[in-house]
Amino acid sequence: MLGKMVVGTARIVGSKTQSEVFVNDQKQNNAKVFVSKSDFDGNESRDYLILYLRDLSMFNGFPVLVVDKQIKMVYYTNASLNDYNLIFGKLLQSESGANGLVAFNNQSKGLGFEPNLKINGNVITFEIPINDKVQKIKLNIA
């Protein structure tokens, strides 16, 4: 991933924010939340919260989830951990990771699953299917 940074095909994603992440009311100490205010190229304004999960066994293969606060949509990345990496507390994202967002509720490319996203100030809740069960995700953003 560092090599991709050098040649310009990776970037540091936004900034880490103080947050707590819960899955079914259980705190996830290894999950991190990052804020991104632009697209990969820095050309378009965004209001993304990027949830870095890392523990693929627990999160059904989703290393990263993206909450678009502006249009109120939850995405998973059509990418792998090769496209995202946590280095020295910074989240690095490859170009292919940036261009592979799929909405959970998309019927043709996504899972056809409605995540029921709710944004109430600094508390964000939504649902995702994990291991054939619906799991409730809660983000408390400081």
Where are the domains positioned within the chain? 2-141
Q: Give pLDDT tens digits along the chain (142 positions).
A: 555 554 455 667 777 889 999 989 999 888 899 998 876 566 778 898 989 886 656 666 677 889 999 999 999 886 666 677 777 777 877 766 556 788 999 998 888 899 999 999 999 999 988 778 898 999 999 8
- Looking only at the bridges linking them, the beta strands covering 10-12 and 90-94 are antiparallel
Q: At a CB cut-off of 8 Å and minimum separation 6, what does 48 contact? A: 14, 35, 36, 37, 66, 67, 68, 69
- Strand blocks (E) in 24-80: 26-27, 32-38, 45-52, 64-68, 73-77
- Indicate the pTM of the whole model: 0.84
